[in-house]
Amino acid sequence: MLMPSRVKYRKTQRGVIRGISTKGSTIAFGKYGLKVLEGGWITAKQIEAIRLSLARSLKQGGKIWIRIFPDKPVTKKPAETRMGKGKGDPDHWVAVVRPGRILFELEGVNTLDAKECMRLASQKLSLKTKLVERVDY
């Protein structure tokens, strides 16, 4: 699963997701991309599930680019713990995405296969997404 090798701070605050994505909002590597339409968190487990889904549906037929990385730690306190006693320990990692961000890119497949691959991938997410195609390809 994806996670950073080192971070400056072990625990971070939750933060607020405002505005639209400016960086990573255009297709840079492949021909087709999966664009997110709403802001939120995508966990490392979700990214791995999507990667496996894309790899299985492509069957060595194309290339995949993962354009996001989970670099934000999310903490969790143990179950049935009373209030107080500080912030919980890091539990899992998430990638923060804003609307308009390209999550995954594909190349080497036709439009119908790309549409089906991205449909399967979007089912693994809790955010709304859409398939976009590179114009100048």
Domain assignments of the chain as residue spans, ordered by start: 32-75+89-133
Tens digit of each residue's pLDDT (9 = 90 or more) over 29-62: 999 999 999 999 999 999 999 999 999 998 888 9
Count CA within 13 A, CB hemisphere, residue 97: 30
Q: What DSSP character marks residue 115? A: H
Confidence category of residue 137, pLDDT binned at 50, 70, 90: low
pTM greater than 0.85: yes
Are 101 and 84 a contacting pair, CB within 8 Å? no
C-alpha 44/C-alpha 46 separation (Å) is 5
Are 50 and 125 a contacting pair, CB within 8 Å? yes
Which CATH superfamily does the domain covering 32-75+89-133 fall into?
A: Ribosomal protein L16/L10 (3.90.1170.10)
Per-residue b or e along 125-137, where b marks 16 or more CB atoms closer than 10 Å to that residue's CB: bebebebbeeeee
Q: Token pair of 24, please?
A: 């990573």
Tens digit of each residue's pLDDT (9 = 90 or more) over 71-87: 999 999 999 999 999 99
Q: Token pair of 5, please?
A: 């090798």
Backbone dihedral angles phi then psi of residue 93, each to the nearest 5 degrees: -120, 145
- DSSP string computed for 99-131: TT-EEEEEESS-HHHHHHHHHHHHTT-SS-EEE
